[in-house]
Amino acid sequence: MKAIFRHELSTYFTSLTGYVFGAFLLLFAGIYTMAVNLNGGMTNFEYVLSNLSFIYLIIVPVVTMGTIAQEKRQRTDQLLYSLPMTMTQVTMGKYAALLVVFLIPTGILCLYPLVLTAFGTLHLPLVFGTVVGFFFLGAALLAIGMFLSSITESQGVAAGICFVVMLVNYFISDLAGYFSSSAFASFGAFTVLVLLVGLIFRLMTWNSMVSLALAGGLELVLILGYALGGDSFAGLFPAMVEKLSLFDRFYQFVDGIFDLRSIVYFLTVIGVFLFLTVQSLEKRRWSE
């Protein structure tokens, strides 16, 4: 794992990727700081971080697109499978390198509010609490981007899918308002979700029978739940979709709420997508 971590980290900083990532993040942080704090005269640096979260939609796909997709395209992933380490160690080494690349500009970002204290009074506990939320949001998005990079050999495709996924997550709270709140509509939406779970499992394992059994079992549970308590399905799907937004969880920190449940949610997303990345690598390892 340490060897993978050192190799990935050196790759980021011997190419332009790590520098572009940090420079882009700090550039827009400076622009928003000037607009919100200096020109706007506001003492709320957390508003800068709130606006800056949109930049994740651009920089995360760029920095994660080649994490595994490039290895697949160049066939250097075969070397990973021959190493005396598990795919979990490979995944964790690559992800740890991503976190370090992200942590460096985030650490520099912490200096901004300290400089701003020379011009006014900032509530630093709120500011640094928001920085913590900002970091965990980025860490969760990096895990998602890394998984999406593992399911394709094309860096462009990986970046495109990652951008779309994050864009949907960014606006998912607004999109939830367009879903029907009827019980049957929620039932239909959950049915589509079950089919998607079955399809993803099929793509991950190439086992049609197990995938069909999984989807059939989930659909049976769904049908029984709808038959026994159909009224409880009313508005359930839109409410659930709205809770999936990573960005809305982060905005709680901006509002001054240091919610440990949001931290747990970020960690859960990280764990789930790292697990899916491991499974994607394992599938390719045994299919070669």
CB 119, CB 28: distance < 8 Å: no
CB 67, CB 152: distance < 8 Å: no
**Three-class secondary structure assignment of 200-255:** HHHHHHCCHHHHHHHHHHHHHHHHHHHHHCHHHHCCHHHHHHHHCCHHHHHHHHHC
Of the spans 17-26, 128-137, 274-283, which averages the highest pLDDT?
Answer: 128-137
Question: pLDDT band at 144, cuts 50/70/90?
Answer: very high
Q: What is the pLDDT of residue 286?
A: 54
Reply yes or no on whether the pLDDT at 146 is more than 60: yes
Q: What is the pLDDT of residue 80?
A: 65
Question: pLDDT band at 265, cuts 50/70/90?
Answer: very high
Q: What is the pLDDT of residue 113?
A: 87
Rounded to 5 degrees, φ, ψ at 152 are -145, 160
Rounded Cα gap, residues 201 and 132, in angstroms: 33
Tokens representing 14 are 């011997």
Mean pLDDT for the chain overall: 81
Please report, as a single letter, which amino acid is at residue 186: S
Rounded Cα gap, residues 3 and 155, in angstroms: 24
Q: What is the pLDDT of residue 122?
A: 79
Burial classification of residue 67, based on how many CB atoms lie within 10 Å of its CB (0-12 exposed, 13-18 middle, 19 or more buried): buried
Lowest-confidence segment of 31-45, 141-155, 174-188, 212-226 by average pLDDT = 174-188
Q: 């951008």: which residue's tokens? A: 163
Reply yes or no on whether the pLDDT at 287 is more than 60: no
Q: 């920085």: which residue's tokens? A: 131
**Entry field: residues in the chain:** 288
Q: List all residues 6 or more positions away from 247 whose beta carbon is below 8 Å from its beta carbon.
A: 53, 137, 169, 170
Question: pLDDT band at 36, cuts 50/70/90?
Answer: confident
What is the DSSP-derived secondary structure letter of residue 118?
T
List own/partner pairs for 166-175 with CB under 8 A and 24 or more apart.
166/56, 166/57, 166/60, 166/61, 166/141, 167/57, 169/244, 169/245, 169/246, 169/247, 170/54, 170/57, 170/245, 170/247, 172/241, 172/242, 172/244, 172/245, 173/242, 173/245, 173/248, 175/241
Q: What is the pLDDT of residue 178?
A: 64
Query: Who has greater pLDDT, 228 or 63?
Result: 63
Lowest-confidence segment of 40-44, 176-180, 242-246, 261-265 by average pLDDT = 176-180
Rounded to 5 degrees, φ, ψ at 286 are -90, -10
Question: pLDDT band at 177, cuts 50/70/90?
Answer: low
Q: What is the pLDDT of residue 285?
A: 60
How much is the pTM? 0.86
Q: What is the pLDDT of residue 229?
A: 72
Tokens representing 80 are 């990973």
Question: pLDDT band at 176, cuts 50/70/90?
Answer: low
For the stretch 191-248, pLDDT in tens is 777 777 777 676 666 667 767 777 788 778 778 877 777 677 777 777 777 777 888 8
